[in-house]
Chain A
Amino acid sequence: MEQTQAMAGARFVDPKVLARLNSLELVARTVVDGFINGLHRAPHLGFSLDFAEHRGYEPGDDLRRVDWRLYARTDRFYVKQFEADSNANLVVVLDVSASMRFGSRGLPKIDYGRYLAASLLYFSHQQRDRVGLVTFDRRIVSYVPPSAKHLDFALFALDRAEAGREGELAAPLLTATERLRRRGIVVVVSDLYEEPDRVAAAVRPLRFRGHDVIVFHLLDPAERDFPFDEASSFEDLESGERLPVVPEALRAEYQELVRRHIEALGRLLLDSRVDYALLDTSVPLDFALFRYLAARERLRRVR
């Protein structure tokens, strides 16, 4: 118990503090190591070594896979089959559209998304999973195919990722679905500025491919609370459109709309058996890792 309390300070690092670290890898290591050390034990580690079934030997099978003990008992050759692969694919799909540039507390959503992606990739790499990365706006910006050796490439791609253009979910996710042939865990990190049913429709093909999909919905506190005071022209970061707004008059309605949007996203994604988590950029990244692990655990049990 004492150990847990001692490490708690290291685990829940304010993302603003992480922002001072220059290296993404360092960020990821700080987060993940703190996270792992904080756990008493690691009951969730090594889930890729599960035995699945036996199959009759066929010419060409690797002799190392023959279950000799069984041969001793039955006098027949059987090959031991394990769960698809002992290590899973983790692909982080990060939204780098212009709207991700927003940040009211000094930490833009894009940075928070990068830290989150880096942490997840690093953490999975530690688990000997294959890691890959897709960044997209209205189309795929960069693609690092999942591989056990691609963490560096993925971190490099993350490092270079910049939010700039208008975004869209459906088209790039469909493209990504087509590329990710092997089933794995797909983590979508986006601010999801689309109608909930369109978001669900965009994510669903990934699910149809058999991926386990986790959607992290990134929002800045200002996007939820709308704390603006002065009547101003609000400029859409993506389209550049401007709208004169008196925040005081609209705040309640805006908050209600956002609340309903989040609620609808949760409901629709749950219906599609997609895990959904809302992440506030003021919340430490560990929280996201917990959500990831909890989902991962649950998925393992369902299987």
Chain B
Amino acid sequence: MSLLAPALLAGLLAIAIPVVLHLVQRERKQVVAFPSLMFLRKIPYQSVRRRVIRHWPLLLLRALVLALLAVAFARPFLPGADAAAGGTGDREVAILLDRSASMAYGDHFQRAREAARSVVEGLRPGDRASLVLFASDVEIAVRQGGERSALLAAIEAARPAALATRYGPAIQAGAGLLESSPMPRREVVLISDFQGTGWDRGQGVKVAPGIALTTMPVGEARVENAAVVDLAFAREAADQSGSERVTVTARVANRGSTRIDNRPIALEADGRQLDAARVSAEPGTTASVSFSPLTLPANGLVRVVARLTPDRLPFDDTFHAVLASREKLPVLVVETAAGQTPFLARALAVSSEPRFEARFLAAAQATPAEIERAAVVVLNDTPPPAGAAGRALAAAVDRGTGLLLALGERSSWSEAAPDLLPGTLGEIVDRREGRGATIGHVERSHPVFEVFGTPRSGDLAAARVFRFRELAAPAGVLARFDDGAVAVAERRVGRGRVLVWTSTLDGYWNDLVLKPVFVPLLHQAIKYLAGHVQRPAWHVAGEAASPSMLAAGAEGGKAASRTRTGQVALSPSGARLPVPGEGSRQAFVPAEQGFYEIRAAAGEGADGERSVLAVNVDPAESNLARLDPAELVTAVRQGPGVAAASEARQLSPEDRERRQALWWYLLALAVLALGAEALLAGRFSRRRPVPAAAEVAERSAAAAQESQRLAS
């Protein structure tokens, strides 16, 4: 029901008038002179008592009259019958059944299934229903079916998934199913635990007019839940054998309302239990548990699981991660004479994640094999290798190898050399007079420089450049000196990248190598050229996995950083799923909790390279705080939507008037109530008879009797 003039509902405030009159008016009446208030004052007589309303029926009747008048003047009307869920006619229902991980709490999912069954059983012949299972994804299990058995079977087959809750897409999908329905009554029934984290207040979900949204909450107010929400790894330096020791720390959050006390937690590696501990946490807090260090095999992967004793929500009691030994990135430095720049050697030696394996060779020693093996080649103040090595370099860059050029006195680029330079090499520019050149402009959005983008993160302009090589680069300039000359330029060749620094890396032509920014800048440049991406230790279920995470093989190197086509993933439940290759429009979205094994599909080279993807439930799913279903219903707006069905039923003026005629009935009711009020008021206001002559006569008789007694 809606109102034509809702502002007139303010008239409901007038209900207070009878109350005020009841309480105030009565005491304004006459003043009664009384000999003494001695006894009246003794009566425990509170003002509250004084204000007690005597004639409740009268007051309620008066309030009812005013309320009826106010509502009548607000002109209530019934919207179109097609919009009313409680109207008549056939009904189409979209049942949205929440199957997110939080529904696995206790018997929530069982209750949700029962609720869904009750909706299905409430369908009448001619009604239709769809079943939509949702979490972070939306799956239409039964589409606009009238078959009760199919719906019940689908409800029975539904299981909670390890996915997060997202109400918006589900409601949109449910409403979408109903939009084109010809049925007069359309209703979306949302069955969920109404977990607060699943609702984004700003997302603005809209449903077409005439579609009712009904909620059926199944959650509990008080919950008990502990969850492992994070694993942190502290690596110790690799020993001589190349293996590392890693200390694993699990973070346990108590999301319930009671304290967890000495809950056992175990750490497993590759299926074997390594260590066990106990954890305690107050409600709403987190606690950390560190386990004894485990040893990582060189070039190996370890599947780590932190396992808390299961509670009522078992999904978040285990946390999976893949622990890999640090990657190694082979870097080949070609110089005029090997070891000519100690700065470069030292800077590459201090790398940690990944580790750079640097080889320094004189230009003459660079062989095609050495070039093939490197992920990044650095030409430090030297011309490109000639002959087979030169061709090998061009081919490698084309396949994806990175090339870093530091130009100096000895740099030259002949016509015969491969076309890798981002521009045309010019003369030496001497800026020794004055304070030398400084880097004036930098493309800070570029991956190489973005780490210096924030304040106090390194001052590139501190370096003084006294000499540099002129470079005429038509495009791809990343940094310029203060006079506008190119300082850094980039060029993509095939799948590889080429970066040019127009000065040297030796401390003669500039003092960049002495500045604090040098080491991070060099590391960023090498990682960028190698296309290196840090692999996260785990992935959240329901989110698209990036190609780098699915890269098969953990042995590192350039080959590992590219996703092959034709891979398959073996899910924790044993299902084989195709993995879309790089460049595909589809993404791989793991939906199960546990370890996915990514391997080459049969017949695709079968080189035995495997990768493991650890998948966990979204930690937000552990937070079972509830959302008020009414808030969600209020927030879902009735948008313009597809109104074809409702537009087809334009109301006739008579029909419209009939729907607005409700106020006449309300007015009639008000008049009836007024009549009843008058009757009742008349009855209440009748005075009770005051004792008079009869009583006096009675007393006189009593006195006479006593006087007789005394006289006798």
Residues of A that sit less than 8 Å from B by CB = 8, 11-12, 14, 38-40, 99-102, 105, 109, 191, 193-194, 220-221, 223, 225, 227-239, 241-246, 248-250, 253-254, 257-258, 261, 280, 282-284, 286-287, 290, 293-294
Q: Hey, which chain A residues are within 8 Å of B706, CB to CB?
A: 287, 290
Whether B49 contacts A249 by the Cβ 8 Å rule is yes
Q: CA–CA, A229 to B687, complex, Å? A: 7
Give the distance in Å from the alpha carbon of A294 to the alpha carbon of B32 in the complex: 38
Determine whether the beta carbon of B35 is less than 8 Å from that of A227: no
* A247: nearest chain-B partner, CB-CB: B32
Contact at A223–B35, with CB atoms within 8 Å? yes
- Residues of B with C-beta under 8 A to A102: 33-35
A34 to chain B, nearest CB (A): 12
Shortest distance from the beta carbon of B278 to any chain A beta carbon, whole Å: 66
User: Cβ of B699 < 8 Å from any Cβ of A?
Assistant: yes
Instruction: Supply 30 A–B pairs (Cβ within 8 Å), ascending by A.
Output: A39-B711, A99-B35, A99-B36, A101-B33, A109-B35, A193-B35, A193-B38, A194-B38, A220-B35, A223-B35, A228-B32, A229-B688, A230-B29, A232-B27, A232-B29, A233-B32, A234-B31, A234-B32, A234-B37, A235-B31, A236-B34, A238-B35, A238-B36, A239-B37, A244-B50, A246-B26, A249-B49, A250-B40, A254-B40, A283-B703
Whether A14 and B696, one on each chain, are in contact in the complex, defined by CB atoms closer than 8 angstroms, is yes
With A12-B700, A254-B40 known as contacts, the answer to whether A237 contacts B49 (CB < 8 A) is no
Q: How far is the CA of A136 from the CA of B654 in the complex (A)?
A: 87
Q: How far does the alpha carbon of A101 sit from the alpha carbon of B690 in the complex, in Å?
A: 21
What chain A residues lie within 8 Å of B30 (beta carbons)? 230, 232-233
B42 at the A interface (CB under 8 A): yes
A250 to B34, CA, bound (A): 15
Query: Across the interface, which residues of B come within 8 angstroms of A243, CB to CB?
Result: 37, 40-41
Distance of B29 from chain A, by nearest CB (Å):
5
B36 and A286 form a contact (CB under 8 A): no
Q: A223-B35, A232-B31 are in contact. Are A249 and B52 (CB under 8 A)?
A: yes
Query: 12 new A-B pairs (CB below 8 Å) besides A102-B34, A230-B29, A245-B40?
Result: A221-B691, A232-B29, A233-B29, A235-B32, A236-B37, A241-B37, A243-B41, A245-B45, A246-B26, A257-B42, A261-B39, A290-B710
A294–B708 Cα distance when bound, in Å, is 12
Taking the closest CB of chain B, its distance from the CB of A210, in whole angstroms, is 26
Q: Is the interface of A mostly helix, strand, loop or mixed?
A: mixed
- Chain B contacts of A99 at CB under 8 A? 35-36
Set of chain B residues within 8 Å of A194, measured between Cβ atoms = 38
Q: Note all chain B residues with C-beta closer than 8 A to A249.
A: 49-50, 52
A282 x B35 contact (CB < 8 A): no
In the complex, residue of chain B having the shortest beta-carbon distance to the beta carbon of A100: B35
Given A225-B691, A261-B39, A282-B696: A12 and B711 within 8 A (CB)? no
B29 proximity list for chain A (CB < 8 A): 230-233
Contact (A232, B32) CB under 8 Å given A12-B703, A244-B50, A257-B43: yes
Please, how many angstroms separate the alpha-carbon atoms of A109 and B36 in the complex? 13
| Top 5 A-B pairs, shortest CB-CB distance | A99-B35, A193-B36, A287-B703, A102-B35, A257-B39
Per-residue interface assignment for chain B, residues 540 to 577, with 1 indicating a CB less than 8 Å from any chain A CB and 0 otherwise = 00000000000000000000000000000000000000
B695 at the interface (CB under 8 A from A): yes
Tell me if B32 and A286 are in contact (CB < 8 A). no
By beta carbon, the residue of chain A nearest B37 is A236
* Bound Cα distance A286, B45 (Å): 40
- Known A-B contacts A250-B45, A282-B695; the reply to A235 vs B33 at CB < 8 A is yes
Inter-chain contacts of B40 with A (CB < 8 A): 234, 243, 245, 250, 254
Q: Contact string, B135-177, partner A, CB cutoff 8 A, digits 1/0?
A: 0000000000000000000000000000000000000000000
Could you tell me the distance in whole angstroms from the C-beta of A281 to the nearest C-beta in chain B? 10
Q: Which B residues are CB-close (under 8 A) to A294? A: 710
Chain A residue numbers with a CB within 8 Å of B26 are 230-231, 246
Closest residue on chain B to residue A13 by CB atoms: B700
Note all chain A residues with C-beta closer than 8 A to B695.
221, 282
Most-contacted residue by chain B among A40, A191, A230, A293 (CB, 10 A):
A230
Cross-chain contact B35 with A237 (CB below 8 angstroms)? yes
Q: Are A237 and B711 in contact (CB under 8 A)?
A: no
Q: A12 to B688: give the CA distance in the assembly, Å.
A: 30
| A241 to B41 Cα, complex, angstroms | 11
Q: Kindly state the separation between the CA atoms of A234 and B27 in the bound complex, as whole angstroms.
A: 10
Contacts of A228 in B (CB 8 A): 32
Candidate in B27, B34, B39, B49 with the most chain A CB atoms within 10 angstroms: B34
Q: B residues 682-701 with Cβ under 8 Å of A?
A: 687-688, 690-691, 695-696, 699-700
B34 and A284 within 8 A (CB): no
